[in-house]
Structure formats: structure tokens, C-alpha cells
Amino acid sequence: MNSVETIVHPQVREESTRARAENGAEVVVVRRPGFAVSAAHVGLRFGSNDLRFRLGDRIVEVPPGSAHYLEHKLFEGRDEKVFDRFARIGAEFNGGTSFTTTTYYFTASQAFDAGLDVLLDFVQDVLLTEERVEKERGIIEQEVRMYDDHPSFHGVFLLHRALYHRHPIRHSPGGSVDDVRRITVDHLRDCWQAFYRPENLRIAIAGDLDPEAVLARVEGMLRPAVLTPPVERLVVEEPPTPAASLLEEDFRVTRPHVYVGWRDPEGPGLGDSGLRRRLLGSLALDLVFDLASPIHEDLYQRGVVDDGFRASLSVDADWSYAAAGGESDEPERFLAEVAGAAESARDRVREDDFERVRRAAFGRLVSSLQSCSAVAGHALHAMLQEVAPFAALDLLAGLRFDEVRVRMDELFREEHRAAAVLRPEGG
């Protein structure tokens, strides 16, 4: 391992050791004396948004859902199902595909080394055949149908299609049933060859472990870097303003489901500056829509929103939007009032509100890092965002009220706004 560095984080009372493997992979080990269950998370920046890329001299286009399909196939293992290998040591495991990343993890109270070997083996080795790919199709179709039955899932992606013209975030990570039916073994092989390279892996481990021994074991499991053929993500050019001010669809809902979103013209990028922008956006959203906001309270008291009202921020390197949504019998009123409240919020927030919201955010973040799996997951996410573990706590402490007001002003603008409404079928 190269460039080994150990840091103690006093705010969360954690000690992390960061290292870069010979092949370029990054590793973080968080030593947690006294914890009985250890965790390892591995991930890479390859997700459902990676639909078009250059692989050597070829341009590859894959259907939406390909990254998720490949995640499923990795669990089959080359010679033995990963399920069986983890079951033998009693480990809990899972994986996940987001828009930009794929992650795999396990937790174990015994035989952690054996589990780590399994994890690092199957993410670096896959056997893709037509028969194996075909076998998975029915399972994934059922997973996609399960999500498709959720109105909120459907509504969020309708909002994505209103906010973005061409960005792949318009597609859900699993794709549609039709997308799943189009995915072939060749699509998955191309994705594997382009992105599942040992040097792209990011590995986070937490537990009552000796970091030096863990790093040595990881180094021993990692395969040499695969530097060819070269890979280039082909980015879709996305106009800076929403694709539609309002999209409506009939859906299987009893009452209208209403969503309003505000997008940034572009994403904040990665690294500390991206994280800082994300934190500012998150605080801005809390100041407007948290239960402790008089803006939210006013909307609630006047019956514009009910207790199902929710707001969230979705950000990665090349997109960023805030959204609010809920059920309403008066969608037009909901949209007008919620949008108006957010877009006039800048002048209604006060510095003491900001301090209180920041204090709460600190408390929630610091206490969310409880289990080894939570800590390892946090550290992996940080690496995939190209920031140091626990960097969010330091950045949060340094944010200023005037910066949040500026962020609110940038984000909550009419020209950045789009909306989506699911109306009851036949209603």
C-alpha cells in the first residue's frame, strides 16, 4: 500500500487509515475497538447513468438498467453463488446500484477475513453467459414491477423527465421492463470491461480490526490494474433549464400526487467544493421545508400540504435538484403555493434559524455513524465523492448564513422550476 495516513476525527471519535493500493484502488479502514460486527463496503463510480461510453475505438450504448443487471449477475459468482459463500460464514450482504455508483457490502461477526476475500474476489471476477443473463431476467422484471407499483417512484421519475431534457437521470436505475428485456450479455460484458477495473475500486472497512493487517490482506486480494482499452464516458449535453414546466400523467392513485422541483443549471462536481454545495443545498431545503420552518407551518395550517409532504435534495457530480411533493386534492394550488413559498424564502429566513438547523444537522450526522456498516458506508460514499471520510462534519461547521442565502437564491428560481402531477385514472 502507498501513502498510508492515519487520522483521528475528534468529532465522531473515529480513527481512520487511508491508503492507496499499488494498482490505484483506494482503501479506508476505520478501527473500532470493542465492536463485535465488522463491515466491508466496496464500490465504484459506475451507475445507471453510464449509458454511453467509448471503449477503445468503439462507442458503446447500453439500455437503461444495465448497471443494475450487472450488479445482479455479480452475485452469481464464477464458480459458486456468492449467497452460498457468505452464508457459510453467517455474513449479511447486499449490493446496490445508484445513478452513479454500484456498491457491495457485507457484515460479519466471525470469519471477517474470509468474507473480505469473498467480497474482493467476486467484484473482480464475473462469468457472463447468455444462459446466466437470461436466467436473471424474470427476477429483475419482478423487481422493476415492484417499484413501478409505487406512485411516489413513478412520480419522481416523471419529475426527472420534466427537469431534464436528455440527462440519463430520466431513467430509473433498474430501467423499465422493456429496457430489461433489451439487455444482452454483450451489453454487460462491455460495462464490465469498461468500469469493473481493479484500480477503480474503492474499499471501506470498519471494525475491531488491525488496519495494517487489513490493508495487507486487501493488497493481496487486489488484481493488477487494467489500463486498456481506454474508457471515456460520453456525456450527454444537457440544456441548463428544465425540459417542461409541467408534466402530467394518469396513474393508479386515489388522490393527485404532486411534485415540484428546482434544478441547478449544472451539477456541483465532486470533491470538497461539491460536498460544500450539497451541504448548503441541504440546509437551504431544511430552512424552507423542515417542520421547524414557519414557511412549512404556514402551508400546513392553511391546508396546502398535509402530513405526507416531503422535501429532498438529489445531487451528484453532474446534476442537482431540490424537490418537494405530496398528495393534494388541489394540485394547482399546491404547486403555486409551495413554489411561491420557496422562491420567496430567501428574505424570510433568519440567522438564528440557520444556526439551529445546522446544529440539528450536525447532531443527526454525528449520531448516524453508529454501526460499523454505517461508518464503512459513509467512508465509501466519501471516497466515491472524492472527499475525506467525515469531511462533511468539518465543512458543516464552516458554513455561513450568507452562503446559504445565496444558495437559496440560486436554487429556488422560477426559471429552474418544473412540476409533475399524477392524476387519478378516470378522475
Is the CB of 246 or the CB of 360 nearer to another protein?
360
- Residue 216 as a binder of another protein (CB under 8 A): the answer is no
Provide the strand spans (E) within 346-424: 417-424
Query: Applying CB under 8 A, which of residues 5, 7, 58, 138 lies at the interface with another protein?
Result: 138
Query: Applying CB under 8 A, which of residues 140, 156, 335, 380 lies at the interface with another protein?
Result: 140
- Coil vs helix vs strand at 149: coil
Query: Applying CB under 8 A, which of residues 235, 370, 402, 415 lies at the interface with another protein?
Result: 370
CA–CA separation, 102 and 153 (whole Å): 20
CA 52 from centroid of its chain's CA atoms? 20
To which H or E segment does residue 304 belong? none
Closest approach, Cβ 356 to another protein, in A, equals 5
CA–CA separation, 92 and 400 (whole Å): 41
CA 312 from centroid of its chain's CA atoms? 13
- Residue 423 as a binder of another protein (CB under 8 A): the answer is no
CA distances in angstroms from 48 to 2, 51, 67, 71, 251, listed in the order given: 31, 7, 5, 11, 25
Stretch that binds another protein, among 22-30, 146-154, 230-238, 381-389 (CB under 8 A): 146-154
CA distances in angstroms from 325 to 67, 338, 383, listed in the order given: 28, 9, 31
- Residue 131 as a binder of another protein (CB under 8 A): the answer is no
- Residue 89 as a binder of another protein (CB under 8 A): the answer is yes
Q: What are phi and psi of 300, to 5 degrees?
A: -70, -45
Strand partners, 58: 55
Q: Which of residues 9-48 bind another protein (CB under 8 A)?
A: 11-13, 34-37
Is the CB of 19 or the CB of 357 nearer to another protein?
357
- Residue 234 as a binder of another protein (CB under 8 A): the answer is no
Number of residues that bind another protein (CB under 8 A): 68
CA–CA separation, 139 and 234 (whole Å): 30
CA–CA separation, 306 and 290 (whole Å): 13
Strand order in the sheet with 310-316: 246-251, 417-424, 257-263, 319-327, 310-316
Is the CB of 274 or the CB of 389 nearer to another protein?
389
- Residue 372 as a binder of another protein (CB under 8 A): the answer is yes
Closest approach, Cβ 88 to another protein, in A, equals 7
- Residue 287 as a binder of another protein (CB under 8 A): the answer is no
Stretch that binds another protein, among 102-110, 163-171, 311-319, 401-409 (CB under 8 A): 102-110
- Residue 183 as a binder of another protein (CB under 8 A): the answer is no
Chain residues in the site for another protein (CB under 8 A) = 11-13, 34-37, 81, 83-84, 87-92, 107-110, 135-140, 142-143, 145-146, 148-151, 252-255, 290-294, 296-297, 300, 303, 306-308, 327, 329, 356-357, 359-364, 366-372, 425
